[in-house]
Amino acid sequence: MTDRGKKWLMWCSLMMLIFSAAWLIISGMVHFSKVVGISQTISAFVLIISILNLGVLFSIKYQNRKWLKKTTMISLFLLPVFATGVYFLAQNTSFLDSGLVSFLAIILLCLLMLLALIYIFILRKVGEMRGILVLLLFIIISVVLQRIEISSSAVQDLFLPGFIILTAVGLYMYGISCLFIIEKNNYLKTISFLACSITAFGSLLFFLKMTGEKVDNLELVYFIPAFIMTLVVLLSLPISGYIHWSSLYKRILKKVAISWIFFLLVFSIRFIYPDFFKQIVNKEYKEYPEFFLKDYKIPDKNGLEPG
């Protein structure tokens, strides 16, 4: 992307940030309705997207600065400790009952997440696949642990949603960064951005499914474009000059394809084997019948006391 494109993205993101934040503040003062609720959801989504865009632009501009690398690396290690601590404090104490304390905890948690994702998806080597592989592995482990009766509620309430959200946000940020990193391959640049954006949307839908939300229509909005794009890439890749690509560009495509195929397979199971998908998503709890039997005193007959 040219310098003109960077400025265009920066100013558009700033305008989106200002207008979405202003509407969230204004809509919070008016009478709540269904339309207002939908507009608030859209504004919050636009606000998050604009912040991520600005975060990517900032990290790319200062990616060679040592202070940014050290800060993001420290955030990567602080994030799980802080998130786990906040979760257990919320479960076992009244420390987070204060609105101000909760707000500050959420802001700090979001900041740590953003910095950690900058380190994983932007500051590390662009073709390195370790970060996305670890996140996907943790998602699989969390899904398996959720099916075990002895597993802690922290898996379902903290770790599984956390890893899915980190993957979704990280993929979107990586897709934006590909617009700047890939210079002479418009085919790969377009495929990487679209694939990361669609996959990020699909991973968010997977998160909603894991929390029990009904998103059947949105699943089609993700799955149909993802499936069509897969066919287009499979048919066009042989004539795109893939054999002559640099090793860096090939690693970028492999990194994008890992998460792309993972979530596409997940939703393929959802449509082809819906019962099996429900078993994966929904944890089954055994219900035992209640006969409502109560203890009663044995009557004393003929002066004989029960032994």
What are the tens digits of pLDDT across the range 81-91?
888 888 888 77
Q: Is pLDDT of 126 > 50?
A: yes
Name which residue leads in pLDDT, 291 or 193.
193
Q: Please state which of the ranges 143-157, 169-183, 217-231 shows the lowest mean pLDDT.
A: 143-157
Does residue 210 sit in helix, strand or coil?
Answer: helix
Statement: residue 29 has pLDDT above 60: yes
Question: Which of 69-73, 235-239, 250-254, 267-271 has the least mean pLDDT?
Answer: 267-271
**Using 50, 70 and 90 to split pLDDT, how confident is the model at 152?**
low
Instruction: Name the band, by pLDDT with cuts 50, 70 and 90, for residue 167.
Output: very high
Residue 174 to residue 254: CA distance in whole angstroms: 13
- Reported as a pLDDT band with limits 50, 70 and 90, residue 298 is low
The packing angle between helices 160-181 and 130-146, to 10°, is 160
pLDDT band at 211 (very low <50, low <70, confident <90, very high): confident
| The pLDDT of residue 283 is above 80 | no
Higher per-residue pLDDT: 274 or 238: 238
Kindly give the residue spans of alpha helices, DSSP state H, lying in the chain. 3-27, 34-61, 66-92, 99-118, 130-146, 153-154, 160-181, 186-210, 216-236, 247-272, 274-281
Could you tell me which of 3, 136, 122, 1 has the C-alpha nearest to residue 73? 122
In this structure, the number of other CB atoms found within 10 A of the CB of residue 206 comes to 25
Q: Once rounded to an integer, what is the mean pLDDT over residues 84-103? A: 76
Compute the distance between CA of residue 143 and CA of residue 280 in angstroms, rounded to an integer. 7
Residue 64 has pLDDT above 90, yes or no: no
pLDDT at residue number 302: 60
Half-sphere exposure of 115 (CA within 13 A, CB side): 20
pLDDT, residue 303, reads 58
Q: Is the pLDDT of residue 74 over 90?
A: yes
pLDDT at 115 over 90: yes
Q: CA 90, CA 102: separation in Å to the nearest integer? A: 9
Q: Which helix (H) or strand (E) holds 119?
A: none
Regarding pTM above 0.95, the answer is no
Mean pLDDT of the chain: 82
